Each structure stands twice: as C-alpha cells, then as structure tokens.
A and B are shown apart, each in its own frame.
Chain A
Amino acid sequence: MFNEIYELVTGPLAWIGWGIFLLGSVYKLASLWSLAKKKDTSSIYYTKAKFGLRSIAQWSLPFGTLGWRETPSVTVVTFVFHICLILVPIFLSAHVILWEEWFGVSIPALPNHVADVMTLLVIAGGTFFAWRRFSVPEVAFVTSGHDWFVLGVVVAPFLTGFLAYHQIFNYEVMIVLHVITGIAWLALIPFTRLSHMLVSWYSRAYIGSEFQGVRHCKDW
C-alpha cells in the first residue's frame, strides 16, 4: 500500500505539480506581459535595466533601505527565511541524492546539521510571521484567510520534512505529507501571493526606474 502511494506522490503527482508550477509560471508571466503591453506601455517604457538592477541590488542588502532599517526584526527574519526557504529544498542532501538518482544531476549538498538548522529557521520565521499576523495591529488588520493559507503552504513542507527526517511520528505518513505539501507549495506559486517570487523582480525594477530615471531620486 505504502509503495503505491509513495510512487503516486513522487511520480505522477510530482510531475503534475512541477508541470503546474512551470506552465503556470510561464502563463502568469506571459499573460501579465501581454496585458502590460496593452495597458501599461508607459510603465514598460520607463523600465530600464540599469535602474532596475540597481534597485534590486540595493533591496537585496539587509538594512540597505529605509524600509529595511525601520523594522529590523522583520528585516532579519525576512532575509534568513527567504534564503533558507530557497537553499534547503535545492541543496538538502536527501534531495541532492534524488536529483542524482532521478535526473542524473549532481550538485553539492548542505551538511545535514546545517540544513537541519536552516529548516528550523524557516519554521521559526514562519512562526514569527504568524505571530505578527496575530499580534501586530497593522499586520493583523490587513491579514485575510489567503495570507494564513499561503503561510501554511510555505511552512508545511519544512515542518513535515523536519519531522520525517527525525522520524518523529509515523515516518511513512510524514514523508508522504512532506511530498504532497512540497508539491502544493510549488504548484501554488503562480496562483497566490507567492507569485511575488515570479513578478516582483519586475515591479521592483519598474519602480526603481521610475524613481531613479524619471524622479531622479533613489527608491530605497
């Protein structure tokens, strides 16, 4: 029974998940681009690579902008959270083995204890964000069900992955949950607020160009 379920989630379901993620992302970007060409031509016109990259570089710097300086706790957590969130799924040793076994791609792996700490940091970061959604008035006021759902989707694969790795609770159940939540995480990127991963590079570059290019003023 387990073998069938495992094969289903790591086989067809995973392909579907990756397919939705990749095709959905292409669709999202393409449809936004064609809409922008129709309705936001001035925005496209003013967007310049030089200013855009400058803006992205500046905002990639912790405490490099006024916004990052004003709420230091959020800045630290945001950076740590996102760095771990991206590195762990790619470079976790268990995943590196799968990249090799399934796709013949071999990449270096994070030491297990490092990946373990990074996973805990993602969970801790998610907990911090959840705390903000509950207790910080300006965040609570604007938080809707969607935000909770997205936060849950993002943290779930890390939580289940952590429990599976340490074989806490039933391993078989946990590993299947881990695969399912991981796939959901991928597949939902193009269709939720997680799409900021895809498009915010451009909105950042655009506003950076508006400020530096048109308004002669830094946007950080």
Chain B
Amino acid sequence: MKKIIPALLAMVLVLVFMLPAFGQEDIVELKDPAFTAPKRPAAVFKHDEHNELAQIDDCTPCHHEDVDEEGQFIEGDPDYKCADCHTVEKGNGTPLQLAYHKMCIDCHTEKKAGPVACGQCHVK
C-alpha cells in the first residue's frame, strides 16, 4: 500500500500536468499575455504540427531554463512561462520579444526551413 499511494499520487500528478499538455493541441498562435500592447498579430504557431514537421521530440531548446557550462540549454519545464524569466522590458537577460524572435528565426535560418521574415509569422 505504502508503495501504491505515491504511485497513485504520481499518476494523478502526471494526469494533472498532462491536461495542459493535451490543451497544447489547441495552440495555434503564440499569444503571450505578457505583451500588453502587441504591435503585430500574434505569431502563427501550431505546436504539434510544427514539432511533427520539424521532427522534434525534445522540449529543448524551446523550453529551457538557463544554460549549462558549455552554453547548452538545460531542459526546462514546459509549464513555465517564457515571461517568467524573459521580461518584456530590457533587463538582465534576453528580452521576451528578442527571445521569441531568436528562438524561431535562428533555428529556421539554420535549418533553411520555416518562416524567417516578419509577415510570415505575424500574419494579418
């Protein structure tokens, strides 16, 4: 029994945490509420479709927390919000907007696939 309770608890926790993960099926755009006055339409981004197309299984590099000694991203908790670390205003780290832009465009440029110009993501 003593082993079952933690296991059940773990299952419940996993289920609870999977709910937003199921919810991610609905992600079609990156509408970050941290941007209180966005100047462009939110970037179009279909999470699962993107990952399937790009054959991405890892949550890094997108979901990361900090970098290790070699400058590689440390896997982060997808439940955290980008704006928790990246502030909209210029602070210590990479500002939020720049973080988004670099995350998407740098990878797309490197892979020579995916949108790179403003209007390709911020579709009117």
Contact = CB atoms under 8 A, between A and B. Distances in A.
Q: Do A and B interact directly, with beta carbons closer than 8 Å?
A: yes
Interface of A: 3-4, 6-7, 93-94, 97, 100-101, 106, 112, 164-167, 171-172, 175
B109 A3 contact: yes
The residue in A3, A106, A112, A165 that gathers the most chain B C-beta atoms within 10 A of its C-beta is: A3
B112 A164 contact: no
Interface string B80-114: 00000000001000000110011001001100111
A97 B101 contact: yes
Contacts of B7: none
Interface of B: 39, 90, 97-98, 101-102, 105, 108-109, 112-114, 116-120, 123-124
Nearest to B41: A167
Contacts of A164: 118-119
Nearest to B122: A167
A175 B112 contact: no
A171 B119 CA distance: 7
Contact of B101 (A101, A167, A175): A101
Given A112-B39, A172-B117, 6 more contacts: A4-B112, A101-B98, A167-B123, A171-B120, A172-B120, A175-B118
Contact of B112 (A3, A165, A166): A3
Given A112-B39, A172-B120, A101 B112 contact: no
B119 A165 contact: yes
A7 B109 contact: yes
Contacts of B97: 97
B117 A175 contact: yes
Contacts of A175: 117-119
26 contacts: A3-B108, A3-B112, A3-B114, A3-B116, A4-B112, A6-B117, A93-B39, A94-B118, A100-B98, A101-B98, A101-B102, A101-B105, A106-B90, A112-B39, A164-B118, A165-B119, A167-B119, A167-B123, A167-B124, A171-B117, A171-B119, A171-B120, A172-B117, A172-B120, A175-B117, A175-B119
A8 to B, nearest CB: 11
Q: Which 5 pairs show the lowest CB-CB distances between chains A and B?
A: A171-B119, A3-B112, A175-B117, A167-B124, A167-B119
A190 B120 CA distance: 34
The residue in B102, B112, B114 that gathers the most chain A C-beta atoms within 10 A of its C-beta is: B112
Nearest to A178: B117
Nearest to B105: A101
Contacts of B98: 100-101
B114 to A, nearest CB: 7
A64 to B, nearest CB: 37
Nearest to A104: B98
Contacts of B108: 3
